[in-house]
Structure 1
Amino acid sequence: MSSPSVIIVGSGLVGAATALALHQVGVKSTMYDQVNPMEVIMRGDAIEFGESGGAVSIQAGGLRVLRTLGLLEECFAAGTPLPYVTWAKIDGSKPIVGDSKVGNKKAGETDPALQVPLQILRSTLHTILMRACHKVGIKTLVGKKLLDVKQEDDTVTATFADGTTATGNLLIGADGIHSTTRRKVFGEDLVAKYMGEMGHIGVVNIKEHNITIKETEKTAFFIDRDKKYLAATFQVSDDIAAVNITTFGDAESQDQSYRPVTDLPKHAGRLADLLKSLGTPPHLEQMMRCSFRLSSYGIYDLPDLESYHKGRVILIGDAAHGMVPSAGIGLLTGLEDVGTLRACSNNFLTKRLEQGFGIVLQNPRRSWYDCCKSIA
């Protein structure tokens, strides 16, 4: 009897990780996306999804998933360990420095390899994941804008704007905060609400511009509680770092692709002036002014869902539980979704091998699907 087949809507970080996890346990999946990430990767360019211009910090739960996927060493080689996290006032005064290893040990993490978080450019991590998918033959079909989802007893079918359809035993919506899957399956009213706040992330070659970041400030947050401003720095290698600043009162962008800004000097200069006016440490202003790439993203509030599955559809990552895109918190929860889905699939398929095709597999596809619902 053939293995279950899965439709994955979205080939971002969580979508790609999901495809790899399912492949490891023998479940065939295909990713569908509006853009072609492999084309971008093969050109040697950075993939730009969401706040992808910046860095993400991956804690023990996410590191464990990356290790399971066989990518942990490659990710650490492309990023940097994060031994400290610092919180300070907007001008850098009154710093509170947290030791990551000590904190994670106290939180109960016993594996030394996972006690120090990883900091990596989001676009670099995406490239690693997509290359791994390509290597094992996982397909990504592009130009696929989701229009509708229809469910039958044993199958689910996705219809795309180009007139094509895809049918499988399970559909996983990994299509982000503005998930079409969520609206079409769970309710058209379940749209993300813009909160009037924008984040702006500049990526800079600190070595080229002689910018020095303290060891304790490779990840640092500078906060003005009265004016409600937050600035941050994220160093991902000896050469590359990112700087982030939030602004308020900006109109919601009609372009949700979050590509890098086109007029870089104008926007980087405006944000650098803002950092200076807020009294941030001088290197933050310099980092923003010298950025070679600048991406902006909106902050949204996502309506709560009682369940992340409905019929043969599961939501994961930001499509399910949107998080404020700060240092990769949303990615971390998405990776934990992936780890849970992989465990559910593996447990079922292992049980199937042990007990044969009789008792467990009276309806094998439905049984596997029921097992996968545990993620929700």
Structure 2
Amino acid sequence: MGVKFRVAICGGGIGGLTLAVALSRYHDIQVDVYEAAGQFKEIGAGVMIWARTWEILSMLGMAENFARIAHAPPNRSPGIGFDYRKSDQPQEGSRFYLFQVPYGCIRFHRAQFLDVLVSHLPEGVAHFGKRLTTYTNLPKSHGGDTPIALRFADGSTAVCDLLVGCDGIKSTIRKQMLEEHVHTRGGDRKLLDHIDPVWSGTIAYRALIPVQRLVKPGGQKHRTIDSPMMYCGKDKHVVSYSISAGSIVNVVTLASQPQLYGSPYNGPWVTDCSPTEVQECYAGWEPEVQELLKCIEKPTRWAIHELKPLPFYFTGRVVLLGDAAHAMTPHQGAGAGQAIEDAFVLAEVLGHRHTSRSAIPRALTAYERVRLPMANHVLEGSRQSGNMYEFNGPLGDNLVPLGPLIGSQWDWLWDTTPQSERDRALGMLQSMRAAL
């Protein structure tokens, strides 16, 4: 069977690699992954997913491999999503909400997560040292379709029929797409405001702690070893959970200045910092938090950015996926999962037997109609959740009603399923074809 079209995936992170693995099931689609770095790599420490994302990994035949590197092998029994405590006082804090869901919160070391995806990638698909600088629609070929030329920073070029921008929150492809839409197609100039990421006003400190450091000589274990914790306080919160088959605890502490949302952030987004800086930021918090933070040795400081919700994800045969489309704050542990859902739905519509080269725009329309509303909803909901964790939401620190309100922010986890989202996209694809 010949190749019906060529897909270029620019960016080899979680979203790009999931798409490559998902598309590799279709032998009539040529897939190339162009990664700017010299190898596939992830920055950051922990990554979490929820039951709906686990279903996708299972459908793609990777569940067994991912189960080996999770905090514990996932099963359908109810588990703790997060245990919420009020912790911004010197005396012992108290739980004000327990979020439980099937599978609980499934946690991984980010680098190990990426390694599993890489292990499922067919040979010859990956190309390294390929940082895309521009793309250009070429003159129509004899078949009547317009291929896309790619130019990379090293001077090399490539050609594809579909370009997928998986190049992250600072996406080059998003920038060119929006600028062209405004300058050559007469689009609304307000679109240019969606090119650059927005600083959320939040600084995060990230660190990994070996579990043995959180076990006292008498054998008493810190609570977070067995339970994902959310320690909440005014303008700050601390997230911690075990990863790597339970051998490491991932800690992310966040400190916000809500009034600075959208203001310029000067300097590098990620830097090293001292353990003292982290500890001083949470001085006066409950002992359980102090014990956790005293075990941090090599923290990094991150300026948390997000995108303004985009009104569209594609033009022509260029489409955005993952952080390039909807980079979000980490407050619902949803960034990786949303990228994986993008990849799953996009692969399903592209792999459909009726999706030819000329039908690619119809497939992208179906993808966008399903994924854009959902991903933008989660993007905005994640920001709202972060405000609630730091008592800056509509209920402040009124803890009794605050807990259930936080819980309701997660309703998207079960309002639909990945299968129903896929079926909806495929139904749209069929309807568009029937209308021709």
Structures share a fold, TM > 0.5?
yes
- The alignment status of 1:162 with 2:169, answered yes or no, reads no
- 88-97 vs 5-14, which deviates more? 88-97
Identity score, percent: 21
Judged with a 3 Å threshold, the aligned counterparts in structure 2 of structure 1 residues 196 and 274 are, in CA distance, closer, same or farther, namely same
* Residues matched between the structures, number: 327
Q: Give the superposition deviation at 1:99.
A: 2.2
Aligned runs of 1:300-311 on 2, under 5 Å? 300-311=305-316
Q: Give the superposition deviation at 1:204.
A: 0.7
1-side partners of 2:12 and 2:18: how far apart?
A: 9
| The one of 235, 252, 277 aligned to 2:265 | 252
- The alignment status of 1:279 with 2:285, answered yes or no, reads yes
Q: Is the 8 A contact 2:13 2:42 kept in 1?
A: no
Q: Give the superposition deviation at 1:369.
A: 4.7
SS at match of 2:338: helix
Q: 2:232 maps to which residue?
A: 223
1-side partners of 2:274 and 2:362: how far apart?
A: 49
Q: Is the 8 A contact 2:3 2:30 kept in 1?
A: no
Q: 1:185 maps to which residue?
A: 177
2-side partners of 1:215 and 1:193: how far apart?
A: 31
2-side partners of 1:286 and 1:94: how far apart?
A: 18
Aligned runs of 1:1-376 on 2, under 5 Å? 1-26=2-27, 27-38=29-40, 47-49=41-43, 52-53=44-45, 55-81=46-72, 83-84=79-80, 85-91=82-88, 92-101=93-102, 115-133=103-121, 136-152=122-138, 153-187=145-179, 189=193, 190-210=195-215, 212-214=221-223, 218-224=227-233, 227-236=234-243, 237-248=245-256, 252=265, 254-255=267-268, 258=270, 261=272, 267-275=274-282, 277-282=283-288, 284-291=289-296, 293-326=298-331, 328-346=333-351, 348-349=352-353, 351=354, 364-376=356-368
Q: Give the superposition deviation at 1:62.
A: 1.0
- AA aligned to 2:23 is L
Q: Give the superposition deviation at 1:169.
A: 0.6
Q: Is the 8 A contact 2:147 2:159 kept in 1?
A: yes
Q: Give the superposition deviation at 1:314.
A: 0.8
Which runs of 5 or more structure 2 residues have no equivalent in the other structure?
A: 139-144, 180-191, 369-436
2-side partners of 1:28 and 1:116: how far apart?
A: 37
2-side partners of 1:296 and 1:267: how far apart?
A: 9
Q: Is the 8 A contact 1:204 1:288 kept in 2?
A: no
SS at match of 1:365: coil
Q: Give the superposition deviation at 1:180.
A: 1.0
Which runs of 5 or more structure 1 residues have no equivalent in the other structure?
A: 39-46, 102-114, 353-363
Q: Give the superposition deviation at 1:285.
A: 3.4
SS at match of 1:299: strand
Judged with a 3 Å threshold, the aligned counterparts in structure 2 of structure 1 residues 375 and 80 are, in CA distance, closer, same or farther, namely same
1-side partners of 2:267 and 2:22: how far apart?
A: 34
1-side partners of 2:326 and 2:203: how far apart?
A: 19
**1:50-85 deviation per Cα after TM superposition (whole angstroms, max 9, x unaligned):** xx22x2221122112211222112212211257112
Judged with a 3 Å threshold, the aligned counterparts in structure 2 of structure 1 residues 301 and 99 are, in CA distance, closer, same or farther, namely closer
Q: After TM superposition, what 4+ stretches of structure 1 lie above 4 angstroms from structure 2?
A: 248-251
2-side partners of 1:306 and 1:375: how far apart?
A: 14
Q: Give the superposition deviation at 1:248.
A: 4.2
Q: Give the superposition deviation at 1:327.
A: 5.5
**1:22-69 deviation per Cα after TM superposition (whole angstroms, max 9, x unaligned):** 11123221111221234xxxxxxxx433xx22x222112211221122
SS at match of 1:2: coil
Judged with a 3 Å threshold, the aligned counterparts in structure 2 of structure 1 residues 2 and 195 are, in CA distance, closer, same or farther, namely same
2-side partners of 1:252 and 1:217: how far apart?
A: 36
Judged with a 3 Å threshold, the aligned counterparts in structure 2 of structure 1 residues 280 and 176 are, in CA distance, closer, same or farther, namely farther
Q: Is the 8 A contact 1:19 1:138 kept in 2?
A: no
